[in-house]
């Protein structure tokens, strides 16, 4: 058979079916941080089953301590290596007033499918399924495949590790030779293979100084305002976008020359002004592309997102001094930083301002895949084949909890992250979209890649 011709035909013919399937998936509001939507997490996995069973997958929806997960297995040959394909079927909330269409009533406009979850991560997942469908229908060689889909990615994949461990023990999951993930984003116009993900540590820093809030007319000047103290304390944690907590960068692995070279190469493909404009930023801490990517991929952050226990209502002020405040902090981290240690360092540091400040939190470590392995080479070839452009080796400023967990549990299996989403698709934003052209190219890449590792 002529692979090139057949896949070209397949991706052109799949458009209608792909669009209908993705629209049906978007219509299921599988918002994992909304407890009232729990049933929708089951509904979306049932929808996936309806799509993959006809291809030949045997599938099962499995309860976890959190949202349900799906394992769908397509066995080719006893001796073939196992491949896990990870995606997530939950989505971000979609309450932003900026939505022009209903987020869960998909709109199809000029080759784009618009709706919550279109690009994160339902559309890319569906493109991979079609790649397998193509290979299967043409009788091409396949590895043994397990789709491993979860529904808690947007809330940190808290129970995913335990789910993996339990199902590896029970034999429902087979230990994979490698793992394929398609939940990352193009760098500008270029396909990317992500080899490094920042981790994230979430911290709640709390200070309680009174039994109840107190009227500032009655005690203002004598009462101690915990929000003012917390502000003093937080102010010592950073200077601009540098983290100034003592010991913060201890143990951090230095970025290698090879990594910096890839970063420099990637920097040439993006434009800082476009980046700034697309994200709607009026100011940035960096002025040029290489500096930008170094910040995003290789450096830790310290962000304050808000406070519990204080006033937030627009336009009004009550002259009450809060009794207790809790600062919401996240820190993006790099390889070598440990969640537990960072939480302890942060608490110790904040306590220097007020000894009653306590810190609780959790997080995910940063991840890194060794660039020099055959799967990365195959992925590069596949990207070039499908997207018609050289893939860049990139870092990722964000974190994928599931990747951290897979790396922890099966450290010997390389995790290969191939992007299908574009920067302009609107991850976690209103008017999220996925381009059908990306799905077609993505399908070609995935077919090429999966076929090329049928024996690895």
List binders of a second copy among 417-446 (CB under 8 A).
423, 427-430
| Site for a second copy contains 312 (CB under 8 A) | yes
The least distance separating a second copy from the CB of residue 419, rounded to whole angstroms, comes to: 13
Q: How many residues sit close enough to a second copy to count as binding (CB under 8 A)?
A: 84
Q: Is 72 in the site for a second copy (CB under 8 A)?
A: no
Q: Of the candidates 37, 122, 177, 198, which one interacts with a second copy according to CB under 8 A?
A: 198
Taking a C-beta distance cutoff of 8 angstroms, is the pair 25, 122 a contact?
A: yes
Q: Is-contact 153 404, C-beta < 8 A?
A: no
The distance of closest approach from Cβ of residue 320 to a second copy in the complex, given in angstroms and rounded to an integer, is: 7
Alpha carbons 288 and 44: distance in angstroms, whole number: 42
Query: Of 41-49, 253-261, 328-336, 432-440, which part binds a second copy (CB under 8 A)?
Result: 328-336
Strand 358-364 versus strand 107-109 pairing type: unpaired
User: How many whole angstroms separate alpha carbon 52 and alpha carbon 59?
Assistant: 8
Could you give the CA distance from residue 449 to residue 439 in angstroms, rounded to a whole number?
Answer: 15
- Please say whether the beta carbons of 453 and 141 come within 8 A: no
User: Does residue 314 interact with a second copy by CB under 8 A?
Assistant: yes
Q: Of 25, 72, 125, 234, which one interacts with a second copy (CB under 8 A)?
A: 234
Minimum distance from CB of 76 to a second copy (Å)?
35
Taking the complex as a whole, the smallest distance from the CB of residue 83 to a second copy amounts, in Å, to 26
Binding of a second copy at residue 352 (CB under 8 A)?
no
d(CA 187, CA 271): 10
336 touches a second copy by CB under 8 A: no
Q: What is the C-alpha R_g of the chain?
A: 23
Residue of the chain from 54, 139, 171, 221 that contacts a second copy (CB under 8 A): 221
Q: How far is the CB of 234 from a second copy (least distance, A)?
A: 5
- Strands 107-109, 58-62: pairing is unpaired
Closer residue to a second copy (CB): 137 or 232: 232
* Residue tagged 């992250």 (tokens): 417
Residue 172: C-alpha distances to residues 60, 70, 71, 86, 409 (Å): 9, 11, 8, 15, 15
Stretch that binds a second copy, among 128-136, 162-170, 310-318, 376-384 (CB under 8 A): 310-318
Among 19, 101, 216, 271, interactor with a second copy by CB under 8 A: 216
Sign of the torsion formed by the C-alpha atoms of 304, 307, 311 and 312: positive
What is the spatial distance between Cα 201 and Cα 217, in angstroms, rounded to a whole number? 39
CA 279 to chain centre: 17
d(CA 240, CA 20): 47
Among 78, 171, 222, 370, binds a second copy (CB under 8 A): 222
Q: Using CB under 8 A, which of 330, 358, 373, 424 touches a second copy?
A: 330
Peptide bond into 121 cis (omega under 30): yes
Q: Are 333 and 365 in contact (CB under 8 A)?
A: yes
Between 139 and 315, name the residue whose CB sits nearer to a second copy: 315
Which C-beta is closer to a second copy: that of 43 or that of 330? 330
The Cα-based distances of 340 to 257, 402, 405, 449 in angstroms read: 29, 18, 16, 37
Q: Tell the smallest beta-carbon distance from residue 406 to a second copy (Å).
A: 18
| C-beta atoms surrounding 396 within 10 Å | 23
Residue 66 touching a second copy (CB under 8 A) = no
344 is an interface residue for a second copy by CB under 8 A: no
Contact in structure between 178 and 416 (CB atoms under 8 Å): yes
For position 204 contacting a second copy by CB under 8 A, the verdict is: yes
Residues from 125 through 184 that contact a second copy (CB under 8 A): none
Q: Which stretch binds a second copy (CB under 8 A): 76-84, 157-165, 174-182, 303-311?
A: 303-311
Residue closer to a second copy, measured from CB, 59 or 187:
187
Residues 6+ apart with CB under 8 A from 213: 320, 321, 322, 323
Please choose, out of 79-87, 126-134, 212-220, 337-345, the segment that lies near a second copy by the rule CB under 8 A: 212-220
Rule CB under 8 A: which of 269-288 touch a second copy? Answer: 275, 279-286
Kindly state whether residue 301 participates in binding a second copy, applying the rule CB under 8 A.
Answer: yes
User: 107 or 286: whose CB is closer to a second copy?
Assistant: 286
When the beta carbons of 129 and 334 are compared against a second copy, the nearer one is 334
């Amino acid at each position: 058979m002529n692979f090139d011709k057949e896949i070209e035909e397949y991706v052109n013919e799949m458009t209608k079916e792909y669009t209908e399937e993705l629209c049906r998936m978007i219509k299921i509001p599988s918002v994992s941080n909304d407890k009232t939507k729990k049933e929708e997490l089951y509904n979306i996995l049932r929808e996936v089953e309806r799509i993959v069973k006809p291809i030949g997958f045997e599938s099962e929806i499995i309860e976890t301590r959190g949202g349900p997960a799906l394992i769908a297995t397509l066995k080719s040959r006893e001796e073939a290596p196992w491949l896990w394909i990870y995606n997530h079927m939950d989505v971000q909330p979609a309450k932003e007033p900026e939505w022009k269409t209903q987020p869960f009533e998909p709109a199809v406009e000029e080759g784009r499918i618009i709706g919550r979850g279109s690009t994160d991560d339902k559309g890319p997942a569906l493109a991979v399924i079609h790649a397998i469908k193509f290979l299967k229908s043409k009788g091409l060689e396949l590895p043994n495949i397990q789709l491993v889909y979860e529904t808690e990615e947007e809330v940190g994949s808290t129970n995913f590790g335990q789910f993996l461990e339990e199902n590896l023990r029970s034999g429902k999951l087979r230990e994979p030779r490698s793992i394929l993930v398609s939940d990352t984003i193009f760098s500008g116009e270029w396909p990317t293979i992500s080899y490094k993900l920042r981790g994230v540590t979430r911290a709640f820093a709390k200070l309680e100084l009174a039994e109840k809030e107190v009227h500032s007319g009655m005690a203002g000047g004598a009462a101690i305002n915990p929000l003012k103290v917390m502000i003093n304390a937080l102010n010592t944690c950073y200077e601009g976008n540098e983290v100034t907590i003592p010991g913060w960068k201890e143990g951090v692995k230095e970025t290698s020359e090879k990594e910096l070279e890839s970063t420099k190469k990637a920097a040439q493909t993006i434009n800082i002004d476009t980046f700034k404009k697309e994200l709607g930023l009026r100011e940035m801490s960096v002025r040029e592309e290489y500096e930008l990517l170094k910040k995003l991929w290789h450096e830790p952050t310290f962000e304050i997102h808000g406070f519990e226990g204080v006033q937030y209502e627009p336009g009004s002020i009550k002259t009450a001094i809060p009794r207790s405040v809790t600062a919401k902090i996240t820190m993006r981290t790099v390889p070598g930083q440990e969640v537990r240690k960072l939480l302890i360092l942060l608490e110790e540091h904040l306590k220097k301002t007020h000894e009653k400040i306590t810190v609780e939190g959790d997080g995910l470590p940063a991840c890194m895949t060794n660039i020099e392995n055959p799967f990365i080479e195959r992925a590069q070839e596949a990207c070039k084949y499908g997207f018609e452009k050289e893939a860049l080796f990139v870092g990722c400023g964000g974190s994928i909890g599931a990747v951290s967990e897979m790396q922890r549990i099966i450290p010997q299996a390389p995790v290969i992250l191939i992007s299908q989403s574009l920067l302009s698709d609107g991850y976690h934003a209103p008017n999220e979209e996925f381009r059908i052209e990306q799905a077609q190219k993505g399908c070609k890449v995935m077919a090429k890649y999966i076929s090329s590792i049928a024996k690895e």
